[in-house]
Amino acid sequence: MSKKPLETCASFGRDNLAKYIAITWFNYNSQRQPKIELWKELRNYIFATDTTTTTNKSLPWKNSTTLPKLCQIRDNLHSNYISALFPNDDWLKWEAYSKSDATKAKVSAIESYMSNKTREGHFRTETSKLLYDFIDYGNSFATVDFEASYVTDRNGDKKIDFIGPRLRRISPLDIVFNPISATFKDSFKIIRSLRNIGELRMMAEDEPDNAYLRKALLDRDRMMAHMNAYGIEEGDKSEGFMMDGFGNYSEYLQSGYVEMLEFWGDIHNEDTGVVERGRVVTIIDRMYVVRNEAIPSWAGSAPIFHTGWRTRPDNLWAMGPLENLVGMQYRIDHLENLKADAMDLAVLPPLLIKGEVEEFEYKPGAEIHIDENGDVTELARNVQWVIQSENAIQALEQRMEMYAGAPREAMGIRSAGEKTAFEVQQLQNAAGRIFQEKITTFEIEMLEKVLNAMLETACRNLDRTDVIRVMDDDLGVQQFVQITKDDITASGKLRPIGARHFAAQAQLVQNLTGIWNTPIGQMIAPHTSTKQLAKLVEDVMGLGRFSLFSPNVAIFEQQETQRLMNQAGEDLQVEQSMGPEVPQ
């Protein structure tokens, strides 16, 4: 499989690598500007409170109402996606590649550690942001890093706030790559970020591995010290292009922000023929290299991951579910305001005034004084088509739900017609296939890769014993377990199974219910193990931690209940035979 490295040449001059990375960012970002404009239009429709902030503002209507259908579809998709990914606490499983890594102790240590870090590191919250990118932009980007943060109490002692791997969202507007690569992994990536000086100083002080940030601060201080020796025009000439969002170069330097471009991937020098594989290069101000080292990941590839909603042929930039619905949203708002204006004209129509008519106020009971040949006539309008426009709006909204892969049944709205419970479940599963395919893709291409990168990052950076809180399934109590690097180092894979388990559970319950409600269920009943059936229900419904099922437990509990009832009856008979006590 061919990879796409960054092409450079030695003849570009001093700091050529920094300038090549900067120019590559500028070129790729400029080429996608038409797409960014489409994203901005979609964003305006999603968050619009009226049509004055959308492309509908050009229509000559008095009313400016917007029906937030795109926003409703977005919220519907997000709520169903997040619920499918995290249906319960047991959404994460470890699959070992060797017998030694499949022991109960190893599996428990890895699953407990990752469950704790995803919970304490706000993994669900960050995943929610990725899902919004998945819906709004059609593309989600994420990376992982290892964080060690501390807090200082009032006694001056440093205490651990969080130590472990953490998921980080990357905005689709802050990353560029080669979209014609075979896969996202094969392309180089350039990520842009803005940080103020104080933030950089804090990061440089808190993390010993962030020595390159101290170099970045020194370069910025040296640049600011000599900035007054040059004019604004000289600064513009030295840079050659405008900084994103800061005007000219001099204004950018005085803004208090530092622009950082991080390059991840391979570099090929056309002049020397040398290929540097797996490099991470950080530049500031599009001029100075402050870090150039091998990617620290054990896999040697960038820990940056991408997934798309609707993939394109020969283009890694995917399409979102809402992008081709903007025109329908435009049409809905057009019809709504056209209808509202027509109703206004029907209630308060224009007046045809003929001849000499005194000035009057148009209201109920108003008196109008006219001359002999004068007249005031309402210009009535036929508003029967207003009802048709209302039906057209409803039809458009239903089609938008269908096109986005969000069936109405997902919101608890049942389609028309009498149906049995089995038919309802069957129709809902069929209608939700687009939804299920999209969320399963997100789970496999994003969450699975991210979780395994988090585990690899933890194995590589954990240099101390970490204490985590876990729930003992047998005792039903919380315990504090010490985890070391060796405990979580293993050969295998973490698999998020929330969305796939959600679909399989619905299908399995539907099939079992259908079988047992037919004569076939009665025929196979004598050959069915109720103990194994209880285990199946416990697994499918996720009831293991409640210990509801055990062999013949109901018989023993009934026996215990009967024993207590018999004992209580005997005690009552003894009390009645003795009669009331006579006071002395």
As a whole number of angstroms, the distance between CA 554 and CA 550 comes to 9
Are the beta carbons of 22 and 283 closer than 8 angstroms? yes
In the chain, the amino acid numbered 280 is V
Task: State pTM to two decimals.
Answer: 0.77
What is the distance between the alpha carbons of residues 133 and 122, in angstroms, rounded to a whole number?
Answer: 17
Residues 6+ apart with CB under 8 A from 197: 217, 220, 256, 257, 258
Q: What pLDDT does 320 receive?
A: 93
SS3 of residue 319 by DSSP = strand
What pLDDT sits at residue 253? 56
CA distance 281 to 277: 12
Distance set, CA 5 to CA 134, 296, 300, 312, 533 (Å): 27, 18, 14, 22, 55
Query: Would you write out the chain's pLDDT as a tens digit for each of its 584 residues?
Result: 456 677 666 554 445 788 889 899 999 999 999 999 999 999 999 998 888 888 887 777 678 888 899 999 999 999 989 988 887 777 888 988 888 888 888 888 898 899 889 988 899 999 999 999 999 999 999 999 988 777 777 777 777 778 889 999 999 999 999 999 989 998 999 999 887 777 667 666 665 566 666 766 676 666 665 555 444 444 443 444 444 545 555 555 566 677 889 999 988 877 777 888 889 998 887 877 888 888 888 777 889 999 999 999 989 999 999 999 999 999 998 888 888 887 777 777 777 888 888 887 777 777 888 887 788 777 766 666 677 788 888 888 888 888 888 765 555 555 555 555 545 555 555 557 788 889 889 999 999 999 999 999 999 888 878 877 766 655 555 677 788 888 888 888 888 887 665 556 666 777 777 787 788 878 888 888 888 888 777 776 666 666 777 888 888 888 989 889 988 888 888 887 776 665 65
- Check residue 13 and give left, alpha or beta (phi > 0: left; psi -120 to 50: alpha): left
DSSP code at position 168: E
Residue found under tokens 């996720």? 542
Cα separation, 21 vs 260, in Å, equals 11
Res 231: pLDDT: 44
pLDDT digits (tens, 9 = 90+) for 465-492: 887 776 665 555 567 778 888 888 888 8
SS (H, E, C) 235-288: HHHHHCCCCCCCCCHHHHHCCCEEEEEEEEEEEEECCCCCEEEEEEEEEECCCE
* Residue 229 confidence (pLDDT): 45
Angle (nearest 5°) at CA 126 between 125 and 131: 95
Q: Are 178 and 157 in contact (CB under 8 A)?
A: no
Position 582 scores a pLDDT of: 59
- Scanning the structure block, which residue is given the tokens 């973490």? 494
Work out whether the CA dihedral 177, 181, 185, 188 comes out positive or negative: negative
Contact yes or no for 190/263 (Cβ under 8 A) = yes
Spatial separation of the C-alpha atoms in residues 95 and 452, rounded to whole Å: 11
Looking at residue 188, what is its pLDDT?
92
Tokens of 416: 């028309």
- Let me know if 139 is exposed, middle or buried by CB neighbors in 10 A (0-12, 13-18, 19+): buried
> Amino acid identity, residue 316?
L
* Identity of the amino acid at 196: N
* Burial of residue 99, with CB atoms counted within 10 A of its CB: 0-12 exposed, 13-18 middle, 19 or more buried: exposed
Which pLDDT value is given to residue 496?
87
In the structure encoding, which two tokens stand for residue 224, read together?
Answer: 């600011």
Strand partners for 483: 466
Give the residue carrying structure tokens 């919004």: 132
Give the pLDDT of residue 418.
Answer: 54
Contact status, residue 249 vs residue 243, Cβ threshold 8 Å: yes
Alpha-carbon distance of 38 to 388, in angstroms, equals: 31
Residue type, 54: T
The full DSSP string for 320-358 is: -TTGGGHHHHHHHHHHHHHHHHHHHHHHS--EEEES-B-
Residue reference for tokens 């990914």 = 85
